[in-house]
Amino acid sequence: MTVTITFLGAAGTVTGSKYLVQGDGKKILVDAGLFQGPREWREKNWSDPPVDLRTIDAVLLTHAHIDHTGILPRFNQLGLKAPVYCTQATKSLSNILLPDSGFLQEEEAEWRNRKGKSRHQPALPLYTQKDAVEALKKFKSVRTGERKEIVPGVKATWHRMGHILGACSISLELGGKTITFSGDVGRYNIPILKDPEPVEFGDLLLIESTYGDRDHPITKPQEKLKEVINETVKRDGVLVIPSFAVGRAQLLLYYIRELKEQKLIPDIPVIIDSPMASSATEIYSENSGDYDEEALGVKKEGRDPFAPRKLYFTTSSDESKKLNGITDPMIIISASGMLSGGRILHHLKHRISSPNNTVLFVGFQPPGGRGDWILNGAKTLRLLGDELPIRARIESISGLSAHGDRGELLRWCESSKGTPGKVAVVHGEPESAKAFAETLQEKFDWKARPAKYRETMDV
For the bound state, the minimum distance from the C-beta of residue 212 to Zn ion, rounded and expressed in Å, comes to 15
Identity of the residue, 182 or 274, whose beta carbon is nearer to Zn ion in the bound complex: 182
Asked if 184 is part of the footprint of Zn ion (rule: CB under 5 A), the reply reads yes
Smallest separation, CB 163 to Zn ion (Å): 6
Q: Would you say 202 or 428 has its CB closer to Zn ion?
A: 428
Pick the closer one to Zn ion by CB: 184 or 258. 184
Least distance from Zn ion to the Cβ atom of residue 164, Å: 6
Site stretch for Zn ion (CB under 5 A), options 37-45, 180-188, 258-266, 320-328? 180-188
Task: Report if residue 106 touches Zn ion, rule: CB under 5 A.
Answer: no
Of 10 and 295, the one with the shorter C-beta distance to Zn ion is 10
CB atoms within 10 A of CB 406: 19
| Residues near 373 by beta carbon (within 8 Å), at least 6 away in sequence | 381
Q: How far is the CB of 374 from Zn ion (least distance, A)?
A: 25
Which of 65/194 has CB closer to Zn ion?
A: 65
Report how far Cα 355 is from the mean position of its chain's Cα atoms. Answer: 33
CA 345 from centre of chain:
21
Rounded least distance, CB 63 to Zn ion, Å: 6
Nearer to Zn ion, 4 or 36 (CB): 36
From the list 44-52, 64-72, 308-316, 450-458, the region that binds Zn ion by CB under 5 A is 64-72
Nearest to 334 by CA among 396, 267, 257, 277: 277
Confirm or reject binding of residue 273 to Zn ion (CB under 5 A).
no
Q: How far is the CB of 357 from Zn ion (least distance, A)?
A: 31
Segment contacting Zn ion by CB under 5 A, of 184-192, 364-372, 390-398, 422-430: 184-192
Calpha distance 118→320 (Å, rounded) = 33
Asked if 103 and 113 count as a contact pair (C-beta separation under 8 A), the reply is: no
Per CB under 5 A, 31 contacts Zn ion = no
Tell me the C-alpha distance between 251 and 248, whole Å. Answer: 5
Single-letter code of the amino acid located at 343: R
- Residue 122: asked if its preceding bond is cis (omega within 30°), the reply is yes
Nearer to Zn ion, 364 or 444 (CB): 364
CB of 209 to Zn ion, least distance (A): 13
Burial 94-104 (b: 16+ CB within 10 A, else e): bbbbbbbbbeb
* In the complex, least distance from residue 382 CB atom to Zn ion, rounded to whole angstroms: 31
128-132, Cβ contacts within 8 angstroms, sequence gap of 24 or more:
128/73, 128/102, 129/99, 129/102, 129/103, 130/102, 131/73, 131/74, 131/76, 131/77, 131/102, 132/72, 132/73, 132/98, 132/99, 132/101, 132/102
Size of the site for Zn ion (CB under 5 A): 2
Contact between 248 and Zn ion per CB under 5 A? no
Residue 6 or 17: the one with the smaller Cβ distance to Zn ion is 17
Nearer to Zn ion, 45 or 232 (CB): 45
Q: How far is the CB of 193 from Zn ion (least distance, A)?
A: 13
Integer Cα distance of 345 and 347 in angstroms: 5
Sign of CA dihedral 270, 225, 242, 208: negative
**To the nearest whole angstrom, how small is the minimum distance from the Cβ of residue 325 to Zn ion?**
37
Helix (H) or strand (E) holding 77: helix 72-77
Is 131 among the residues that bind Zn ion (CB under 5 A)? no
* Residue with Cβ nearer Zn ion (106 or 197): 197
Does 208 help bind Zn ion (rule: CB under 5 A)?
no
Q: Which stretch binds Zn ion (CB under 5 A): 107-115, 183-191, 417-425, 439-447?
A: 183-191
Pairing assessment for the beta strands 270-273 and 456-458 based on DSSP bridges: unpaired
282-301 positions binding Zn ion, by CB under 5 A = none
Q: Please report how close the Cβ of residue 399 comes to Zn ion at its closest, in angstroms.
A: 17
Q: Name the one range near Zn ion by CB under 5 A: 57-65, 98-106, 286-294, 351-359.
A: 57-65
Q: Which residues contact 410 (CB under 8 A, 6 or more apart)?
A: 439, 443
Return all residues near 40 (Cβ < 8 A) that are at least 6 apart.
none
State the Cα–Cα distance between residues 428 and 209, nearest whole angstrom.
5
The gap between the terminal CA atoms of the chain, to the nearest Å, is: 10
**Part of the chain binding Zn ion (CB under 5 A), chosen from 18-26, 177-185, 306-314, 315-323:** 177-185
Nearer to Zn ion, 65 or 74 (CB): 65
Residue 122: CB partners within 8 Å, gap ≥ 6? Answer: 109, 113
Quote the least distance from Cβ 64 to Zn ion, whole Å.
Answer: 8
Site for Zn ion contains 65 (CB under 5 A): yes
User: Which residue, among 96, 90, 41, has the nearest Cα to 63 in the 3D structure?
Assistant: 90
CB 302 within 8 A of CB 328: no
Q: Which is nearer to Zn ion, 90 or 129 (CB)?
A: 90
**Interface contacts to Zn ion, rule CB under 5 A:** 65, 184
